[in-house]
């Protein structure tokens, strides 16, 4: 049996370990080698890369993608897309979603992994449709979580819905690294029995389960696994590529990776890791194993947010109460998966409930919007009293929220005017208005300087 690998060094590992601060120039030198490694795909765009390019690295994200494409002509390039939310947390109108998908593919993307935080398939429909229309691979991703209503049947139904929608593969996305080996085995097995398309497992090594979980997933027939080159693996990142390849080959699985090339890639990333450790941008804590998420059944990132919130307010003594309140709030909200932004919304509300000494005395505007149905359909039932408290006699929205939005692309194009030099620029502006505009201004400044310099030189 064959197992394929998606390398995450440039996207998820970069995002999980060093907050996506790796500039293009730092990895440009290894791209041609990565192109020869034998990966199923290279996850290199989407997620936080886009925001980080504009906000911190003064890079045009579209240009980064085109450059990677030029250096990696033989490997499929993959991005992560949050369905109707694109790369952020608000819903965009359909014309914007379609244009974003179309331009991503035009600029070099081959595979778009599309998910919704609530697993509301209506929120991935348009992106999936546009991906297929443009000849790329639409991979439907299930946000994996645990709750009384998230069982095998629910995941099988989701996978079937995604396959019927046209998704060419299904990814189980365990963003918190809480999926155990047996759960992986059972889930993959159930999906393999009910859908025909390849199954992918994405997990993190946060709780130390990563490698075991991938191993059992492969035993159950998982076709593709997400891993990171070893120097960028472990902790909040993915399991190491070389280690998984070595172990699986020993077991007799067919693995297309070239171990010598992987060594070259790892040797390239080692000094980069050392440099980030030295500067403090890579905190050794994120590289170690943290099993707290297993005890509390909430993602590690969410726990550290809760600690930070309470410490800031000098209320760490309330931590046990907040920890106990968190699953209650989640239940009241119909068990949303604890992925951004739901993890923050649940955490902030649980903290507010405890600190106010009264549940739902203050309700955040995000939780209100969620209860109104603006994020999509809650996985389970929202507590009736809470719903009544927020909505009064109003009904929640039952349609797809994007159906309530006016088209947005032309409007944004007019708004940003000459500062945008392409439709790609307009999309950057729509996704991150402030950061994109600041980036355009700096770019113009640079151009003016080059121009002046050119004239001086002629003189």
The number of residues that bind Co ion (CB under 5 A) is: 2
Tokens 């402030």 locate to 434
* Residue (222 or 390) nearer to Co ion, CB: 222
- Residue 175 or 382 having the CB closest to Co ion: 175
Considering only the stretches 10-18, 27-35, 324-332, 407-415, report the one whose residues sit in contact with Co ion under the rule CB under 5 A.
Answer: 10-18
Q: CB of residue 202 vs Co ion: minimum separation in angstroms?
A: 6
CB 7 within 8 A of CB 229: yes
Determine the Cα–Cα distance for residues 352 and 346; give it in Å rounded to an integer.
Answer: 10
Q: Residue of minimal CB distance from Co ion?
A: 12
| Least distance to Co ion, CB of residue 276, Å | 19
* Cis bond upstream, residue 335 (ω within 30): no
- Measured from the CB atom, the residue of 121 and 171 that comes closer to Co ion is 171
Q: Which is nearer to Co ion, 4 or 14 (CB)?
A: 14
Give the residues across from 3 on adjacent strands.
255
**Residues in contact with Co ion, shown as a per-residue x/- string from 159 to 198 under the rule CB under 5 A:** ----------------x-----------------------
Q: Name which of 13, 173, 149 is nearest 81 in CA terms.
A: 173
Q: How far is the CB of 340 from Co ion (least distance, A)?
A: 11
Q: CB under 5 A: which stretch of 9-17, 271-279, 367-375, 413-421 binds Co ion?
A: 9-17
| Positions in 409-428 near Co ion (CB under 5 A) | none
Least distance to Co ion, CB of residue 428, Å: 23
Dihedral angle, C-alpha 330, 331, 332, 337, nearest 10 °: 40
Tokens matching residue 408:
């947005």
What is the rounded CA–CA span in Å between residue 339 and residue 455?
53
SS3 60: coil
Residue 85 CB, shortest distance to Co ion, in Å, is 16
Residue whose C-alpha is closest to residue 118's, from 349, 400, 388: 400
- Please select the residue that binds Co ion; options are 4, 9, 10, 12, rule is CB under 5 A: 12
Q: What are the residue ranges of helices labelled H in 338-432? A: 342-356, 365-371, 384-391, 409-416, 423-431
Closest approach of Co ion to the CB of residue 175, in Å: 5
Tokens representing residue 390 in the block: 């927020």
List residues binding Co ion (CB under 5 A): 12, 175
């Amino acid at each position: 049996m064959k197992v394929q690998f998606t390398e995450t060094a440039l996207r998820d590992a970069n995002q999980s370990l060093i907050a996506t601060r790796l500039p293009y120039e730092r990895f440009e030198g290894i791209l041609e080698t990565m192109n020869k490694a034998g990966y199923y795909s290279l996850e290199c765009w989407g997620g936080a890369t886009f925001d980080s390019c504009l906000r911190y690295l003064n890079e045009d994200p579209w240009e980064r993608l085109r450059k990677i494409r030029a250096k990696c002509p033989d490997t499929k390039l993959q991005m992560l897309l949050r369905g109707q939310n694109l790369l952020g947390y608000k819903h965009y109108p359909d014309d914007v979603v379609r244009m974003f998908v179309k331009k991503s593919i035009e600029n070099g993307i081959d595979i778009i992994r599309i998910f919704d935080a609530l697993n509301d398939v209506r929120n991935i429909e348009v992106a999936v449709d546009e991906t297929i229309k443009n000849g790329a691979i639409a991979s439907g991703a299930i946000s994996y979580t645990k709750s009384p209503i998230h069982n095998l049947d629910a995941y099988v139904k989701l996978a079937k819905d995604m396959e019927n929608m046209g998704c060419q593969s299904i990814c189980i996305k365990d963003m918190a690294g809480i999926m155990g080996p047996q759960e992986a085995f059972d889930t993959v097995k159930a999906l393999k029995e009910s859908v025909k398309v390849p199954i992918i497992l994405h997990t993190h090594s946060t709780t130390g389960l990563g490698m075991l979980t991938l191993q059992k997933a492969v035993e159950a027939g998982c076709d593709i696994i997400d891993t990171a080159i070893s120097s960028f693996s472990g902790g909040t990142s993915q399991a190491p590529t070389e280690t998984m390849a070595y172990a699986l080959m020993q077991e007799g699985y067919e693995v297309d990776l070239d171990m010598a090339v992987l060594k070259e890639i790892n040797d390239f990333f080692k000094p980069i890791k050392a440099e980030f450790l030295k500067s403090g941008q890579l905190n050794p804590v994120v590289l170690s194993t943290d099993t707290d998420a297993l005890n509390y059944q909430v993602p590690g990132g969410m726990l550290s947010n809760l600690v930070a919130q309470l410490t800031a307010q000098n209320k760490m003594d309330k931590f046990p109460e907040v920890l106990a309140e968190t699953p209650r709030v989640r239940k009241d909200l119909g068990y949303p998966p604890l992925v951004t932004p739901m993890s923050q919304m649940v955490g902030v509300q649980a903290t507010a409930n405890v600190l106010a000494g009264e549940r739902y005395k203050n309700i955040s505007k995000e939780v209100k919007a969620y209860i109104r149905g603006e994020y999509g359909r809650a996985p389970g039932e929202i507590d009736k009293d809470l719903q009544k408290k927020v909505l009064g006699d109003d009904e929640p929205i039952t349609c797809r929220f994007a159906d309530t939005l006016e088209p947005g692309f032309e409007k944004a194009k007019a708004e940003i005017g000459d500062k945008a030099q392409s439709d790609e620029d307009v999309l950057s502006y729509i996704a991150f208005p402030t950061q994109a505009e600041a980036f355009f201004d700096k770019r113009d400044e640079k151009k003016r300087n080059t121009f002046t310099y050119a004239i001086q030189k002629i003189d």
